[in-house]
Amino acid sequence: MGVSRSGYYTWAKHRISARRARDDEIAAVIARLRSEKGAFFHTYGSPRMHAELRMGHGFAIGRKRVERIMRERGWAGAVKRKFRFRTNPATSEDKVNRNFHVPGPNRLWLGDITEHHTAEGKVYCAVVLDAYSRLAIGWSIGSRMTADLVVDALQMARWRRFGVRGAIMHSDHGSQYTSWAFTSRVHEAGLIASMGSVGDCYDNAMMESFWSGMQIELLDSRPWQSRRELGTAMFSWIEAWYNPRRRHSSLGYHSPADYEKIVPTTVTLAA
């Protein structure tokens, strides 16, 4: 049975129209995500947005199609900053040696501090990550960079991971982490202290990646008028966005909280 030329063109035109309609439908979902209040989907590039559409919204769609739709509409992800370099001397042996891959939770914890300006002055944030899932298990926010700041973050991590002993607590070599207040709590908790080598940001690269994400998604998004305003935003970014919703390519595009659900939630003691 033959097909007329006009019939073929009608079929082809309908197919193109259907494809465009589907593109518009997908674009509408992306636009809604990018404008969602309290979320940071507008910082997603096409790989992470593709994962959100596929895993979070049930779209059967190819990554290249998402890339094309975003490119045609001028939507691009945020670009991460380069790592920071520090030059303070280390006081504990580096027991990690840049190997952040661990077989389960509560084997390796990472700690670090960042700071950001407001019109009132600086705000400091200390965080403890579980290297297995990148989950922020402890954090503390304040107006001064003191030993209490990192101790409070560690105490929250201990509260969330009650009963953990033998995990490595890896940090940089700042005075807060070498203080008696912090090191005594590490020892009291049965954790093993570890510090990176001198002047090498890659010795705590996972923490640097965490801060880079916060920087581009939140801290640099606008001027901050007060410490309270920024502190509240940091809290919301960690607990309402990063832990439960932010997708990571290294976690198979799961969020940290979802990734931990893949394994039993019982406490995993370090060997």
Q: Can you spell out the DSSP letters for 39-81? A: --GGG--HHHHHHIIIIIH-----HHHHHHHHHHTT--PPPPP
What are the tens digits of pLDDT across the range 39-53?
888 888 888 888 889
- For residue 127, the Cα-to-chain-centroid distance in whole angstroms is 12
What are the tens digits of pLDDT across the range 120-148?
999 999 999 999 999 999 999 999 999 99
pTM: 0.79
CATH architecture, domain defined by 108-260: 2-Layer Sandwich (3.30)
Two tokens at 203?
A: 């010795």
Helix, strand, coil share (%) of the chain residues, nearest 5:
45, 15, 40
d(CA 117, CA 208): 18
Sort strands 121-130 and 135-142 into parallel, antiparallel or unpaired: antiparallel
- Find tokens 């979070």 and name the residue: 56
Task: Please report the pLDDT score of residue 88 as a whole number.
Answer: 43
> Which of the residue ranges 16-25, 40-49, 179-188, 214-223 would you say has the lowest mean pLDDT?
16-25
CB atoms within 10 A of CB 4: 8
Task: Please report the pLDDT score of residue 90 as a whole number.
Answer: 42
